[in-house]
Chains A and B, each alone.
Chain A
Amino acid sequence: MSLLSINNLSVSFQTDRGVVQAVDQVSFDVDAGETLAIVGESGSGKSVTALSILQLLGDAGTISDGQIVFDGQNLLDLPEKDIRNIRGDRIAMIFQEPMSSLNPVLTIGKQVAEPIWLHRKKTWNEALDQAEELIKKVSIPDARQRLDAYPHQFSGGMRQRVMIAMALACEPKLIIADEPTTALDVTVQAQILSLLKNLTTELNSALILITHDLGVVARYADRVAVMYGGRIVESATAAELYKHPKHPYTEGLMASIPTLDGEPGSRLQTIEGQPPDLLHMPAGCAFHPRCPYAAEICKHAKPSLKEVEANHFRACVGYESIS
């Protein structure tokens, strides 16, 4: 059985200009210890999917359908009190902006010790000792003194290390990292992702990595789910997806990245058109207005995810009608 199993998840948002269907019938599994990357462009629904798992959508967002089964339990059936017990304990989250996700008026020590004290029922001193260990573990020098420092005294990379220490505090089974390094420079990004990957491997935790960076995915993910217009259009192992993309969108995406061996002055392949407007989502397949293979059927039928090869899933009716 999978550690996390999401079935037919749908999330909508009430906005001033109408209802937005941000996530539409999304299903995927995450096994213990594996790293799943969810990739997609802005507005594809990848972050909303991640936030739904811990029900952090705020007042405007509603989970209208589906199940989120974690460790055999549907999280959507649980009362808020029980969800709060899971957050930061068995499932932890790391956000993009470490400055706005740390409390500026609390010391680093307090923030890292809090989940241990709260979930593990340790005394405050024990929790602080453990916090010091964690800060050492994420390679922040002078851990003891740093416990008394405030977030503004840290650089962006160091703050993200603190976030990782907090996330790992209770040795969660699942860590969700939403664009954890987008705000950081590349040399620091490499340090942070490598640290995160090593520590999750050590704990045998599963990692859901939300990103738009196809290079990061290639380096760190075991499996990849590609989202477009609120739906998963393709999922496979990372090696397989990059080598044999099977959905026209993934294909276009892979082809549009500048590569090492491109001829000087050569033009990149592009995906024509613009990403869909969430308020006016195209009928049928959301990608059909930009798809070079779009057939008549694509304008009406919403394709569902089907296994086209072992462990390789694709949602495309156009292809089915061709072959």
Chain B
Amino acid sequence: MTSDNHQDNIIDVKDLKVHFPVTEGLLKKTVGWNYAVDGVSFSVRRGETFSLVGESGCGKSTTALSVLRMQDVTAGNIVFNGQDITHFSANKLRPIRRQIQMIYQDPFGSLNPRMKVGSIIGEPLRVHGQAKDKVKYRTRVKELMRLVGLLDDMADRYPHEFSGGQRQRICIARALALEPELIICDEPVSALDVSIQAQVINLLMDLQERLGLTYLFIAHDLSVVRHISNRVAVMYLGQIVEVADRQTLFNDPKHPYTQALLNAVPEPDPELESSRPERLIIGEVPSVRNPPSGCRFHPRCSKAIAQCKIDRPVLNLYNQSLIACHLY
């Protein structure tokens, strides 16, 4: 079914479920559940960029946090380098966390304003006991700064002295400090101006090539995803609806939601836009608290058939892609 037997998977997520209790009143009585992630399976191959895309509330960030085990998992398995880490204790997770690092969306909120840039970048080294040799430590921090295009003498400055793009470089340097294998990038460029986005995307691609990194990339900006990804998974309301390689997904999307999503994104080309028929999908994303029965997309789907209301479609192999839709 969904798990491709690729030899060199760095991450295998199997039937992941993350449900949040909805509480009410003084005693926080549980009155319902938010099915934020509900049966998600995917694999990330070593050295690739695998993207999770979808609209807000689709569960993409929760999925990413679960991979890092920064989010408690309700059910399912997370396998990292062949090791099932789903139920690892905090102690056992420490060496794993060295190998999986994260870059966040907001380069303003994720840097401590009272720390100098050098010590921000070196913090993971200190936490993991790799700063005992002061000379080596300082050399390593400088090396990291150069790697992301910052100048050595910036180490003694504070985050507020830097622009958004440079701050994101600081975050990237910090993520690289422990030489991780996998970096989870949660909307790494969406807070940046267009002219700066390209700089950071290029940097991420350069670093991947030089250091052999694997990226799990979370984004809602499809043009960025199209540029950087090898494979893409589209999520809707806590489930994956389609997984395909970049070319196939963007040129020949199969799932009606993927098609609608791609159609909703305007291309920066007035001629193309004026010739393209506008196919709007109706309604808005429903709440994950009471997700629709059967296929969760059926109330908004123009191609829904009777079966879609009853049966939940599972991901099935169709040509080279995985699609969860009764039409295929």
Contact = CB atoms under 8 A, between A and B. Distances in A.
A191 B269 contact: no
Given A258-B201, A268-B201, A268-B227, A41 B269 contact: no
A2 interface: no
**Top 10 nearest A-B pairs by Cβ distance?**
A258-B227, A215-B266, A185-B55, A41-B193, A219-B266, A256-B198, A190-B264, A268-B198, A214-B268, A271-B195
B202 A268 contact: yes
B17 to A, nearest CB: 23
Contacts of A194: 278, 280
B281 A187 contact: yes
A10 to B, nearest CB: 23
Interface string B238-267: 000000001100100000000011011111
A86 interface: no
Contacts of A212: 193-194
A215 B268 contact: yes
Interface in B35-61: 55-56
B205 interface: yes
Given A218-B266, A218-B268, A258-B227, A185 B56 contact: yes
A215 B196 CA distance: 17
A238 B55 contact: no
Contacts of B165: 274
Interface stretch (A60-68, A98-106, A124-132, A259-267): A259-267
Most buried by B among A157, A213, A274: A274
Given A185-B285, A187-B261, A275 B195 contact: yes
B99 interface: no
B194 A239 contact: no
Contacts of B264: 186-187, 189-190
B112 interface: no
Nearest to A269: B198
B199 A270 contact: yes
Contacts of B220: 185-186
Contact of B284 (A42, A155, A242, A275): A155
Nearest to B276: A219
B130 interface: no
Contacts of A271: 195, 198
Contacts of A268: 198, 201-202, 227
B205 A242 contact: no
Contacts of A270: 195, 198-199, 202
